[in-house]
Structure 1
Amino acid sequence: MNSQRQRRVYSALTISFLLFGLVLSAIDWRNQDYLAQDIPQNVLDTVEGAIISESSVKVKGIDVFYRVAEPGKVVDPTGLTLFLLHGAAFTSSTWQNQIDTTQTMSTLGHRVIAVDLPGSGNTASGSIGKREEFLAELIGALSPGQPVVLVSPSYSGSFSLPLLLSNPELLSGYVPVAPGSAFSYKGRLSNVRVPTLIVVGENDGRGSSVILKEIPTSSDLQIIPNAGHPAYLDDPERWHKLLHNFMGLVQSKY
């Protein structure tokens, strides 16, 4: 995307984000029940039929590998895009092969994109400059003109947290799972207005997650019982239910 077009897209996104924020501020994100609605059985019965394609896009001179699943036919498209980052020990494959988040969420009507960050999976390492700028360009390339709900576990917090401050208009929602680098942002998140679902495993440290409660539009801690650092792997059913309810709230006010 050339710089002039990128500026136009970001300007349009900024206006949309401001209007979006006025509506979202009316929701009491802290006190929602994010387990209220079950995933419909007809969705669960057809998850295995989800179609996932693979491709790559050049960002900062690096060919970034990604997987994408378009909305399925069981549920009407929601218009939302779920954008999946990963932890240091994982890749985009995790969301498809270790846990069927890509399939489940696309069957629920969302567009789902999972990427391999530089130096992981099928994406080569390279010089990318500031991580938030890299992530902003990546989101702009894969979801032009459409803010995303960004899932960011562990290591990927070093990409997503600075993006919250630099380009919040690119996000319609944020789902941090014990994100790295959070302590560096203590006292800096009170002006963020991106709806945020904070997920943490019961057996993992909660320090970084507690800091995220500075975000006025954040949930309370959503603790997955008996789960460790990659909490989503220990209880995929609860993880998908949390995502389903959160994205339903975002969709209702989008």
Structure 2
Amino acid sequence: MAPGTYAADSITHLALYMTSSQQILLTLFSSVVINIVIIGGSFRLLLLHQGEACEPFWVSKSSRSLRHRPRRACNNCGPIGLTRKMSQVEVSEGSVEVQGCTSPLFYRQIRPSSGDTKMSILLLHGRSFSSENWLNVGTLHTLANAGYRAVAIDLPGLGRSSSAEAPVAVGELAPAAFLTDVCKRLELSPVVVISPSLSGMYSLPFLLQQQHLLRAYIPIAPICTEKISAQQYHSIKVPSLIVYGDRDTSLGQVSLNNLSQLANHSVAVIKGAGHACYLDDPDTWHRLLTDFLSQL
């Protein structure tokens, strides 16, 4: 039944029992009611279209963090970005077969939609996290808006790569061939590697054995730093930015002490932040990151 039809029938039935003056007033009132019903129905259809056909993006600020969720496009609306600037970037997802993994690894990629990219950035993650954290905290979009190609993978056994088996046990150094193959298949070299926490087991062997494939290295309190010798650290010439939160008094301090032996490094401390310092203070993290990259 069309919007307003039921209301019109009900009002007509009621008019049979009313006087002439009451019928005049009722006629005026019914006209207003029917228009409201029709307009309301049309507005509801618009809301349903926006809510179901196009999943809206949301932006919320909490503890100075900016969180994003990508918006799904529909046939009528076309591709939609997260902010005004997002019309200038391309967002994609995919999977990649990697040597030593039983199943493909999931990845997210964001890059400028026009012009050449300045360089490629590979973002790894910690044990309790995934590539989605880099999306939610805004790091992927910060990099793309600055002209970089940003690729975040879900490591084996985690996130949307949960079916992939890790090449070694957690806490052991993985073969350098693992990230070498990731970079080769995704065409990332030379690459800047961002490596928090657990991902140190993958990034450190890659850093040590494949320096020629790296543009820079950004460790964020990674594990396994004690497994590299002082002599090995001194042999690494890749520009490195060591990032940690001053409230990360365990792994943050241990990794800092070891990574400070890198031949070409600088240190950035995020005040008031813990182990996942990039989540505690995204604004400071993004400033430190883009400032460092702009100097490469």
What TM-score, normalized to structure 2? 0.64
Identity of aligned residues (%): 37
- In structure 2, the residue matched to 1:12 is none
- In structure 2, the residue matched to 1:89 is 128
The answer to whether 1:71 aligns with 2:117 is: no
User: How far apart are the structure 1 equivalents of 2:131 and 2:186?
Assistant: 15
- In structure 2, the residue matched to 1:54 is 93
Q: 1:184 to 1:47 in 2, by over 3 A?
A: farther
SS in 2 for 1:198: strand
- In structure 2, the residue matched to 1:143 is 187
- In structure 1, the residue matched to 2:224 is 181
| Mapping for residues 148-227 of structure 1, pairs under 5 Å | 148-187=191-230, 188-205=232-249, 206-219=253-266, 221-227=267-273
Among candidates 219, 243, 247, match of residue 289 of structure 2:
243
User: How far apart are the structure 2 equivalents of 1:167 and 1:222?
Assistant: 24
User: How far apart are the structure 2 equivalents of 1:227 and 1:72?
Assistant: 34
- Note the alpha carbon deviations across 1:16-43, whole angstroms, 9 max, x for none: xxxxxxxxxxxxxxxxxxxxxxxxxxxx
Instruction: Indicate the structure (1 or 2) with the bigger Cα radius of gyration.
Output: 2
Kindly indicate whether structure 1 or structure 2 has the higher relative contact order, using CA contacts under 8 Å at least 6 residues apart: 1
SS in 2 for 1:163: helix
The answer to whether the 8 A contact 2:105-2:164 is kept is no
The answer to whether 1:104 aligns with 2:148 is: no
User: How far apart are the structure 2 equivalents of 1:230 and 1:161?
Assistant: 19
Q: 1:209 to 1:46 in 2, by over 3 A?
A: farther
User: How far apart are the structure 2 equivalents of 1:153 and 1:127?
Assistant: 17
Q: Residue 242 of structure 2 aligns to which amino acid in structure 1?
A: I
SS in 2 for 1:126: coil
The answer to whether the 8 A contact 1:87-1:155 is kept is yes
Q: Residue 223 of structure 2 aligns to which amino acid in structure 1?
A: G
- Note the alpha carbon deviations across 1:88-118, whole angstroms, 9 max, x for none: 0000000002x01001110100000000000
Q: 1:65 to 1:241 in 2, by over 3 A?
A: same
Q: Tell me whether 101-110 or 131-140 shows the greater mean CA deviation.
A: 131-140
Q: Residue 93 of structure 1 aligns to which amino acid in structure 2?
A: E
Which runs of no fewer than 5 residues in structure 1 stay unpaired? Answer: 1-44
Q: Residue 52 of structure 1 aligns to which amino acid in structure 2?
A: V
- Note the alpha carbon deviations across 1:164-204, whole angstroms, 9 max, x for none: 11111111000000010011114120010110000000100
Give, in angstroms, the shift of residue 131 of structure 1: 3.5
User: How far apart are the structure 2 equivalents of 1:230 and 1:114?
Assistant: 16
User: How far apart are the structure 2 equivalents of 1:56 and 1:85?
Assistant: 15
Give, in angstroms, the shift of residue 213 of structure 1: 1.4
User: How far apart are the structure 2 equivalents of 1:244 and 1:72?
Assistant: 19
Among candidates 234, 244, 254, match of residue 280 of structure 2:
234
Which runs of no fewer than 5 residues in structure 2 stay unpaired? Answer: 1-82, 169-173
Q: 1:57 to 1:249 in 2, by over 3 A?
A: same
SS in 2 for 1:246: helix
Q: 1:202 to 1:72 in 2, by over 3 A?
A: farther
Give, in angstroms, the shift of residue 128 of structure 1: 2.9
The answer to whether the 8 A contact 1:227-1:235 is kept is yes
SS in 1 for 2:286: helix
Q: Residue 135 of structure 2 aligns to which amino acid in structure 1?
A: Q
What TM-score, normalized to structure 1? 0.75
The answer to whether the 8 A contact 2:104-2:164 is kept is no
